[in-house]
Structure formats: C-alpha cells, structure tokens
Structure 1
Amino acid sequence: MPETEPIAVVLTALPVEYDAVRALLESLDEVVLDDGTRLEQGRLSGTGWTVALAELGEGALTTAALTTRIVSELTPECLLFVGVAGGLKDDLRLGDVVVGTKVYAVHGGKQTPEGFLARPESWHGSHRLVQAARSALRDLDGVRAHRKPIACGDVVLADERSAVRDHIRRTYNDAYAIEMEGSGASHAAHLGGRLDALVIRGISDLADAGKGAADAEGSQELAAGQAAKVAVAVLRKHAPRPRSTSGTQEEPRPGSGAGAGAGSGSGSGSGGDTINFQGGTYYGPVVGKITRHN
C-alpha cells in the first residue's frame, strides 16, 4: 500500500464487533505487524479511506498497548473504537448507539476512612469526528443515536443495584453507556499527538440482570451492526486531509500572521541580499543570519 494513502484505523474488542465492521469494507488484505498483531486493510467505497481493522480482545490495558503499536506502525489520520456497551440511562433501547463526546476512566481514586475519593480521568472525542457524527446522524435512517459521555472500567456490569453502578451514577452522572476498552484507545490516541479519535458503542444490554438474556437473543449482533453503520457514516463525512503535490499530508494553515506560505521571501542585507523560499513552505516568522564569504 502506498505510504501516501490516508488510513483510518477501526478497533474492536469482540468477534461480533469485528465482523459487523468487516462486512462494510471491500478488497480486504491481511497485514501482520512486526510484533504479530494482525489487521485487515480494505477500502470504504465512495471515500478516500483505506480502513485498517483490528480485533484486540477485551480490556483497557491490552487496548492501550496494541493501539499504541498500531498507531506507530500505520500512522493513521483517525481512529475509531467501535463495539457494544451496556446502557446506563432509562431512555436507551437495545440497538441505540452512543457516540462518545467524552470517555471516563471510572476506577481512579483513593480509598479513605471517609469513603472513596474519585480522581477522574477523561478524554474528549475529537472535535472533527464529533462534528462529522452530528452531520452524519442527521441523514442516517434506522439508527437512534446519542452524542453523550461513555464510562469505561474493567468490569462487566450486570447488576443495576451494584456499588459500581451507584459510583458511576454519583460521580459520572452524565455517562450514557459503560464499556471496557474506550479509555485505553483514547489514551493511546492522545499520546499519539495529532490523531482524531472517537469511541462509538451500540447498546446491547442495560447493564442489569437482563444482560444474559439480551445477549442470548442477539442483542450484541444488533448493537454491533448499528455501531458499525454509524462508524462508516462518520468516515464518509470526515474526509481525509488534503495531500500536497508530493503526496504528503499538508499541515493545517494557521490564521493571520502565519507567514506567506510557499513562495519567495527576502531578507535585507547591506547589499540587498535575498533568501529564496520558492517551492518551500513555512509558518510563522523566519529568523536567519546572512554570512558573506569573500
């Protein structure tokens, strides 16, 4: 694959999530990284994206480590974590999709004699991708979607009266869904620098004692399929960044005071010496020194 092709990485934890996204891609080829991590790369029709799809397994720690590796190897423009989650709010239905405006890591804190003191960590969804989701969801039929925060913890929640559920309700009251991997992916994307990232989760249960029955009736397949539809719709709206004539990604231009861009500039010396910037690109003031050699 040419290095100049824009890549969107889509990560999943479970086979049902992976299969839902895979069904929407074309021309798939397997890619094996140096450490043995396997992905499939394919095309998303009607877009400029090459999509690299991976199934990482469960848990935030594994997700963070493998996401870091994948981002380092593939240098994608954007990253989506797509899968299923438990719903935390009464207005949610099975098959609804939550687009994560924020991801909370819910287990950080300090236990004291006075009780548990939360020490929250959170990561905001990429502004570009959240905006793309807002636009895409206006035209997407058959999906009930919510742009809300998502809670992430290393726990499968199947009891609406549990201490964990009560902790989330009191400390992360605006969270709409709970899952296990979003914080790992979000943190790895944050450490990767200029990488747009977003967590998209379909509601497969209501984080209560009915989870097992819902899963047995196919709720995970329904939720994963709906989340995959939203992920693809977001990528269709979120076009790759423009490429320069040399095939490399162009940096966004700053606003006023950013310099002249490509072209020619001059530095005045006592003899009218010039510095030629033709064919170059620069941002901000340019500082230099002219040295004459006799």
Structure 2
Amino acid sequence: MLRSLCVFSFILLLLSAVSVAQVDNTPRPAPTTRVIGILSAMTLEIETLGQDLTDKTEMTVQGIRFTTGSLKDRKVVLAHSGMGKVNAAMAATLLVEQFQPTDVLFTGIAGGLNPDLRPGDVVIGAKTAYHDYGEWTPEGFR
C-alpha cells in the first residue's frame, strides 16, 4: 500500500512539473523585402555561394551557422544543413523561424541522380516520395 502511494505521489509530482508548451500564433507581418533562404547538405556547395556575398554577416543558431548578405542584389541567407532529411528539416525550421525568408531553396548534387546531368544543370522535381515507406522499382514506387 505504501509503495503504491509513493508511486502515485511520484507520478503526480511529475505531472505537476510538466509545463504546457505555448505556441505563438501571432500573425507575422508580410515581409517588406524578399529574402531567399538557401540550404545545402555539403559545405563546399554553400561556401561557393558565400564567396560571392556582399554585406556578409554571420549568426549561429542552435549550432548552425547562417550567413546573411546580398547575392547579385538579392537578400539571401545561406546555411549548411548537413546530410540527411532530419538535418535538412532542422536547418530549414531554424531558417524559417529566425529569418522568415520568402523563398527557401535547397542546392546540391542530387546524389548523382542521373549520369546525364552535368555541373550547373538545374533539376526541378515533378514528383516527391517519402522514401522511408518503400523503394523505387521498375514497376514504380513500392
């Protein structure tokens, strides 16, 4: 009986200590300046763009370095996300929360997607698939 009372008291204490997360649903004003967020999985890709930035400033948020500046008269924010969808999602979330870009682009090598592609080619996907739920086969996505 005493043990049950102790366990119940401990659970009650834990529940009372948990705070409810507050979500800020305050509408943000529309951006007055177009800002383009550009993410990359590989350091070399984002550093190449960063070399051409003017009015460069750097800021680190949660361990990710963001570089703001102008690229051919356009305001941009650059960041290296690292490889993988979790890293990309985390970097994109921080980018949107901190800088409110009007556009977000992801630049990269497309993992050697097609041997006919050459450096400088632009690839725009017509379809997307969440690859954790299957694989691409000659018969389609399964």
TM-score (norm 2): 0.64
Large movers: runs of 4+ above 6 Å: none
In the TM superposition, 1:259-270 aligns within 5 A as none
Work out the CA distance in 2 between the residues paired with 1:101 and 1:9: 21
Per the alignment, do residues 93 and 63 of structure 1 end up closer, same or farther by CA in structure 2, a change over 3 Å counting? closer
Corresponding residue for residue 17 of structure 1: 45
Work out the CA distance in 1 between the residues paired with 2:113 and 2:95: 29
Query: Within the alignment, does 1:38 sit opposite 2:65 as a pair?
Result: yes
Kept in 2: contact 1:106–1:168 (CA 8 A):
no
In the TM superposition, 1:219-238 aligns within 5 A as none
The percent of aligned pairs where both chains have the same amino acid is: 27
Per the alignment, do residues 77 and 93 of structure 1 end up closer, same or farther by CA in structure 2, a change over 3 Å counting? closer
Residue 169 of structure 1: how far off its partner (Å): 4.0
Work out the CA distance in 1 between the residues paired with 2:137 and 2:96: 30
Work out the CA distance in 1 between the residues paired with 2:69 and 2:52: 10
Superposed CA offset, 1:103-142 (max 9, x none): 322221xxxxxxxxx5xxxxxxxxxxxxxxxxxxxxxxxx
Residue 32 of structure 1: how far off its partner (Å): 2.4
Query: Within the alignment, does 1:170 sit opposite 2:139 as a pair?
Result: yes
Q: Which runs of 5+ in 1 are unaligned?
A: 109-117, 119-163, 173-294
Superposed CA offset, 1:130-180 (max 9, x none): xxxxxxxxxxxxxxxxxxxxxxxxxxxxxxxxxx6xx344325xxxxxxxx
Per the alignment, do residues 6 and 93 of structure 1 end up closer, same or farther by CA in structure 2, a change over 3 Å counting? closer
Residue 102 of structure 1: how far off its partner (Å): 3.4
Q: 1 or 2, which has the higher helix percentage?
A: 2
Residue 14 of structure 1: how far off its partner (Å): 0.5
Q: Which runs of 5+ in 2 are unaligned?
A: 1-30
Superposed CA offset, 1:8-35 (max 9, x none): 10000111211222233222110223x2
Per the alignment, do residues 68 and 97 of structure 1 end up closer, same or farther by CA in structure 2, a change over 3 Å counting? same
| Number of equivalences | 109
Q: Which has the larger radius of gyration?
A: 1
Corresponding residue for residue 79 of structure 1: 104
TM-score (norm 1): 0.33
Work out the CA distance in 1 between the residues paired with 2:137 and 2:47: 30
